[in-house]
Amino acid sequence: MLSSSFKTNHLSAKETEFVQLIKENQGLIIKVSRLYTNTLEDEQDLFQEIVLQLWRSYDSFKGQSKISTWMYRVALNTAITLFRKSSKTPATDEIMDFHIAQFLENDDEKNQQVSLLYKVIKMLPNIERAIVTMYLDDLPYKEIAENLGITEVNARVKMNRLKKTLKELMEKHG
């Protein structure tokens, strides 16, 4: 999403630092963008909106949490806000995650499972999507809870329930 040849010659130190931060964490932004959109164009738009919101709130980051925790919080809030504003969501049966296929090299069983996992994650409500996304990124339950404003115990309970739900959805749609 972010070109590695992005020129930083004319940027301030703050801007250069921010661009580097985005480059280092663009996978997090891509993942959130992918899970809250249904087309490549919407994914790219959401990516840009998240980066804009990160820039707008960059000065307010006080370092009281990990930078990735803060970025997740901004990315998820942006995605959920835009998702709620959008009334053009297709039925979950019609969700085709065709743009994920372009990132998969082979059509082997593992890649099919990953594609199916993305498809069923998109069927979940917003908060559950967020929990699964952070869990798949190996964030500790404490950080998941902080990002969502819930207790660590609640995050664990929700994730355990979500594992069962995801398994059922994968069996049903796989």
Residue carrying the six token digits 């835009």: 82
Identify whether the C-beta of residue 162 lies closer than 8 Å to the C-beta of residue 132: yes
Q: Report how far residue 144's alpha carbon sits from residue 148's, in angstroms, rounded to the nearest whole number.
A: 6
Residue range 32-52: mean pLDDT, rounded? 91
pLDDT at residue 108, as a whole number: 63
Coil, strand or helix at 150? coil
Residues with Cβ within 8 Å of 137's Cβ and at least 6 positions away in sequence, in order, are: 28, 31
**Strands (DSSP E) found in 67-170:** none
- Work out the mean pLDDT of the chain and round it to a whole number: 81
- Our measurement of the distance from residue 155's CA atom to the centroid of its chain's CA atoms, rounded to an integer in Å, reads 17
Q: Report how far residue 7's alpha carbon sits from residue 98's, in angstroms, rounded to the nearest whole number.
A: 32
CA torsion sign, 50 to 52 to 53 to 58? Answer: positive
Instruction: Give the pLDDT band of residue 137 (cuts 50, 70, 90).
Output: confident
3-state helix, strand, coil in the chain (%, to 5): 70, 0, 30
